[in-house]
A and B are shown apart, each in its own frame.
Chain A
Amino acid sequence: MTIQSEAPRLPAATVPQFDRNLAIQWGITAITGLLVLLPLLPVFYQAFLDRPLYDSDAALTAANFGRLFTAEFGHVIGNTVWFAIGTTVIAQVVGIVGAILVGRTDLPFRTAFGELLLWPLFLSHLVMAFGWFTMYGPSGYVTLVVQSIIGVTPWNLYTVTGMAVVGGVAQAPLAYLYCIASASAADPNLENAARSAGASPWTVLRTVTLPLMRPAIIYGTIMNAVIAIEMLSIPLVFGGPVQIELFTTYLYHQVFMSATPDYSLVAAASFFLLVIVMLLMALQGMLMRNAGRFVTVGGKASRPGRFPLGPWRWVAFGALLFYVIFGVVVVVGGLVLRSMTVLLTPLMPIWDLFTWGNYQMIAGYEVYVRSIKNTILISVIGGILGTVLITFIALVATRSEFRFKRQLEYLAISPRAIPGIIAGIGIFYAMSYFPPLGWLRNTIWLLVIAYIMRYLPTGFGAIAPALSQISADLDRSARTVGADWWRTSRSILLSLLKPAMFSCFALLFIHFLKEYVTAVFLFAPGSEVIGTTMLQFWIQGDNGPVSALATIQILITVIFVYVARKALGVRIYG
């Protein structure tokens, strides 16, 4: 047999001089490090400086924190805590109940409810806030209708509690998302076992079902608390008019409402917020480690058995229907109606108020058209670049011999603890400190960079699990047949990762489309996005164009999600 004749070989048994794999791995680590540190370092630095960081006379000091912690700031913190608790509790209760009803019971129309409960996840808080304002605000449509029937205004959203209700409903989809996975994966045999042991359905729910969902509940609770703390839109829309300050609006007003923004004070406050969020994240990590024993190990694809609700079926159906109609349909529908009317009021028939004026107004001004174009461009370009970067981060962090791969992974998921508002402020400071970055100011690239940084963890969460599903033997075998790490990554892993990369892109696209907090401090003439333009209109009191822009944003999202799911088969949120 002559199969072992001499043949062209790889240069045998060599330790490469220049290792392109190492170069690429270091390169990706450097990019990730720069992205994450770009906003953080300036905030850290500025927090301890007595003057703006670009001022060459600036000196180190700790006095900023002394100036920060005043009685007024104490009030801000009190409001924020109350808002965060209210939002989290409402979101979690709605999410958990929804997940149990849809995932574990014989609720009628549960598939449709599942979709409707999840859908607001695709919409930005700003849009939700405008929707609530339009329908339930002091002169909102529903408010006026109720007022005309019972004679008084039964609610006031311009309070911390009112904001918490709006926030809670806006965040309920996230709580639902975390819980539905564990609710529908739960092994019905565990529940059946408890029931056959004589436990009533209620006892089973309390002693078996809920404890099994505990990791999801803990995770979602802290996630929602963090999001509530860093939320800008709802406090701004409902607290702004009546001077109720929350943490984010405090920062916002410090920067935008004072003639000479106090850099040091804003940085100190940002630093404080950063520490709080990091502590919450650390708490989450600790709780999750202990929660591990409650995670159900996925049984064989058994169809989850469902609790028969009996006559309560229709009660639950009615309650959920009420929630979905008034929490989702009315809010979004009202916004769409408002965009097509001069004024939305129950006092006049709606067809008399119909107009395309709001849309014509948007189409008529270059700035408004540009903000739509920019938003789409950022979502597409940022989505693509972000997906590529995140994929390679995941490849280095989980599929290489790179010495600092663990650290790279931590770096990539650390932006979870960087609120968008801080990212915006930090990058804004970075630009004032490194003038060369200034040319980015009026382009969309600055936002692309900031957004990608913000959503590294989101994308990583889509790629890394998919990567761990690919057997390590597949790349190990490629290595032994002679492919180096880079070639293996390209020819073997990337091809197998394609579906996950589409999901990652879709997630980034949707997040970039609705993102505005990060942009609030960073946009400039030329780099407006839908969110920042909506805020500007709203401050001027132009609610018509705001609704039109919001409707356009919703429309883009709906079309994108529909096409991605149906035509391309991309998985977004399960």
Chain B
Amino acid sequence: MAELRVEGLVKTFGEVRAVDDVSFRVADGEFLTLLGPSGCGKSTTLAAIAGLDRPDQGLIALGGNVFFDGTKRRFVPPEGREIGLVFQSYALWPHMTVWNNLDFPLKLRKIPRAERAKRIEEVLALVEMSEYGARYPHALSGGQQQRVALARTLVYRPSLLLLDEPLSNLDAKLRERARTWLRHLQNQVGVTTVYVTHDQSEALALSDRVAVMNQGKIVQLADPHTIYEHPADPFVADFIGSSNFFRGTVTGIANGSVRIAIGDGQPLVAASPLRLRDGSKVTVSVRPEKIYLSDSPQANGSDATNVFPVRIEERTYLGAHHTVLVRVGNDSFRVDCDTLPAGETAFAHIPPESCIVFQAQTDR
């Protein structure tokens, strides 16, 4: 078992910098997720680690084995890396039975027949597919194929497991079950894992740590809680969960909280550890579920800070809760609430500690 090191990885396709100076480490046995919108370079990063694409620069090493070193022009081909990669398409070989799919990597390693059979049975049991050894891939459901694909990579006991959106072809219900099952399995096996997805809830539920990527760069690498509660920039705040954004200017600073003039000059108080100056341009993000709506300005026993009279513009019923679009002055924002306010107007309470302040890009 070993630690994965990726340093300064760059991969360009013509003009496009698909992966742009990416560095991260995955500790032995850790589960790291690369999360980001479509086209941000997740698959390209994974392919570089697996050796399927040759990067332009950087270093990739697993434990003491250097797989790629741009400065020394060292490149280990994929078959020399002992890595397991589960493809989004599963890539089961259609002309082989499940059993033979699993047998192929073992044959390559010249493992004796009896040992091969033992291992295949073991790993089929692990993924709960023992009865399906004689089937061909086309006679399996999507979920079953995904398990076989996983079994095929586990059967030769790779030192590193890479998964590229392995659940994206499953329906919503099955995806949730497979997620739990996968996490459980990874715990059991204890293999170092890099997981790629663009589904944020999958990333938060599965990972020890999440690396959020945007346009070929890692914008934040942290545990799921930090990513959600303390996003590093507005992109992360918006991509993970959802956020309302207010643009404004700092008008006053007092012991850990700042006063910001937003929209038509309305004051918004936010708790922030940032060192800000008067007149700094900032963006404030607030998650819809952190805002309260009530019929009076004094609900929930809170004081009078950040209470805005709002007009309700749109209501959407989402089953578990309602989402309401409200307007104050020129700004409109979303609020999640369990019960709808009665009238057309209401009061929105925004707790200062739920406000996350980012310095505007140009101000840095």
Binding site for B on A (CB under 8 A): 1, 3-5, 7-16, 401, 471, 473-474, 476-484, 487, 491-492, 495-496
Q: Could you jot down 26 A-B contacts, CB within 8 Å?
A: A1-B189, A3-B157, A8-B109, A9-B109, A10-B80, A10-B108, A12-B80, A13-B62, A13-B66, A13-B82, A15-B75, A15-B76, A15-B80, A474-B91, A476-B52, A476-B91, A477-B91, A479-B78, A480-B50, A481-B79, A481-B104, A481-B108, A482-B108, A482-B156, A483-B104, A484-B79
Q: Does B95 contact A (CB under 8 A)?
A: yes
A345 to B195, CA, bound (A): 82
Is the beta-carbon distance between A10 and B93 smaller than 8 angstroms? no
Residue of A nearest to B81 (CB): A13
Q: Judge whether A13 and B95 touch: CB under 8 Å.
A: no
The verdict on B85 contacting chain A, using a C-beta distance below 8 Å, is yes
B341 within 8 A of A: no
B44-63 CB mask vs A (1 if < 8 Å, else 0) is 00000011101000000010
User: Nearest-CB distance from B76 to chain A (Å)?
Assistant: 5
Interface pair B85/A14, CB less than 8 Å apart: no
Knowing A479-B52, A482-B108 touch, does A14 contact B91 (C-beta < 8 A)? no
Alpha-carbon distance A570/B79, docked complex (angstroms): 35
Q: Are A1 and B50 in contact (CB under 8 A)?
A: no
Q: Quick check: is B123 within 8 A (CB to CB) of the other chain?
A: yes
Q: Which 7 A-B pairs have the closest CB atoms?
A: A13-B65, A473-B91, A477-B91, A481-B105, A479-B78, A480-B85, A1-B188
Bound-state Cα–Cα, A306 to B34, Å: 52
Chain B residue with minimal CB distance to A476?
A: B52
Contact A3 to B65, CB < 8 A, known contacts A10-B108, A478-B93, A483-B79: no
Residues of chain A within 8 A of B89, CB atoms compared: 471, 473
B1 interface residue, CB < 8 Å from A? yes
B122 at the interface (CB under 8 A from A): yes
B82–A10 touching, CB < 8 Å: yes
User: What's the least CB distance linking A330 to chain B, in Å?
Assistant: 48
Q: CB-CB contacts of B167-205 with A at 8 A, as 1s and 0s?
A: 000000000000000000000111100000000000000
- Expressed in whole angstroms, the Cα–Cα distance for A56 and B153 within the complex equals 65
Q: From known contacts A4-B189, A13-B62, A478-B104, infer whether A484 and B77 are also in contact, taking CB-CB under 8 Å.
A: yes
Does B134 have its Cβ within 8 Å of any Cβ on chain A? Answer: no
In contact, B76 and A7 (Cβ under 8 angstroms): no
Q: Which of A11, A479, A487, A492 is the one whose CB lies under 8 Å from B93?
A: A492
Interface presence of B270 (CB below 8 A): no
Bound: A3/B89 CA distance, A: 25
From B51, B79, B189, B190, A10 is in contact (CB under 8 Å) with B79
Closest to B64 in A: A13
Q: Is the CB–CB distance between A3 and B122 below 8 Å?
A: yes
B279 within 8 A of A: no
Whether A480 contacts B78 by the Cβ 8 Å rule is yes
Number of interface residues of B (CB under 8 A): 45
**Is A16 touching B93 in the complex (CB atoms < 8 A)?**
no
Contacts A471-B89, A481-B108 given; does A11 touch B80 at CB 8 Å: yes
Assembled-state Cα–Cα distance A470/B77 (Å): 22
Shortest beta-carbon distance from B199 to chain A in Å? 20
With A482-B105, A487-B108 given, can you name 15 additional A-B contacts, CB distance below 8 Å?
A1-B189, A4-B157, A4-B190, A7-B109, A9-B82, A10-B80, A10-B82, A11-B80, A12-B81, A13-B65, A13-B81, A15-B80, A476-B52, A480-B85, A482-B109
Q: For B109, what are the chain A residues with a Cβ–Cβ distance below 8 Å?
A: 7-10, 482
Which residues of the other chain, B, contact A487 by a CB distance below 8 angstroms? Answer: 108
A479-B95 contact, Cβ under 8 Å, with A4-B1, A487-B108: no
Contact of A476 among B54, B87, B122, B190 (CB under 8 A): B87
Bound together, the chains give a CA A386 to CA B81 distance in angstroms of 35
* Bound: A491/B105 CA distance, A: 11
Q: A482-B105, A495-B95 are in contact. Are A473 and B87 (CB under 8 A)?
A: yes
Q: Could you tell me if B85 and A477 are in contact, using CB atoms closer than 8 angstroms?
A: yes
What are the residues of chain B within 8 A of A476 when measuring CB–CB?
52, 78, 85, 87, 91
By a CB distance below 8 angstroms, the chain A residues around B75 are 15
A15, chain B: closest CB distance, angstroms: 6
B83 at the interface (CB under 8 A from A): yes
Chain A nearest CB: distance from B156 CB in Å?
6
Q: Which of B51, B104, B110, B154 contacts A491 (CB 8 A)?
A: B104
* Residue in B65, B82, B123, B190 with the greatest tally of chain A CB atoms within 10 Å: B82
Q: Which of B1-24 contact A (CB under 8 A)?
A: 1
Q: Is B126 in the interface zone, CB < 8 Å from A? A: yes
Name the residue among A10, A11, A471 with the largest chain B CB count within 10 angstroms: A10
Which B residue's beta carbon lies closest to that of A492?
B93
Q: Give the docked Cα–Cα distance between A309 and B243 (Å).
A: 63
Task: Indicate if the CB atoms of B126 and A3 lie closer than 8 Å.
Answer: yes
Kindly provide the distance from the CB of B271 to the nearest chain A CB, expressed in whole angstroms.
45
* CB of B139 within 8 Å of the partner chain: no
How far does the alpha carbon of A477 sit from the alpha carbon of B75 in the complex, in Å? 18
B349 at the interface (CB under 8 A from A): no
* Bound form: Cα–Cα A496–B65 in Å: 34
B152 adjacent to chain A (CB < 8 Å): yes
- Chain A residues, Cβ within 8 Å of B77: 15-16, 479, 484
B residues within 8 A CB of A4? 1, 157, 189-191
A15–B156 Cα gap in the complex (Å)?
20
* Residues of chain B within 8 A of A492, CB atoms compared: 93
Q: Which residues of B contact A471 (CB under 8 A)?
A: 89, 91
Q: How far is the CA of A14 from the CA of B82 in the complex (A)?
A: 11
Please measure, in the bound complex, the distance between the C-alpha atom of A449 and the C-alpha atom of B87, giving whole angstroms.
42
B80 touches A481 (CB 8 A): no
List B contacts of A401 (CB < 8 A): 54
CA distance A482 to B75 in the complex (A): 15
Most chain B Cβ neighbours within 10 Å, of A471, A481, A484: A481
Known contacts A11-B80, A492-B93: does B87 contact A3 (CB below 8 Å)?
Answer: no
Q: Which residue of A lies closest to B154 (CB)?
A: A3
- Asked if B329 lies at the interface with its beta carbon under 8 angstroms from chain A, I say no
CA distance A487 to B50 in the complex (A): 18
A1 touches B190 (CB 8 A): yes
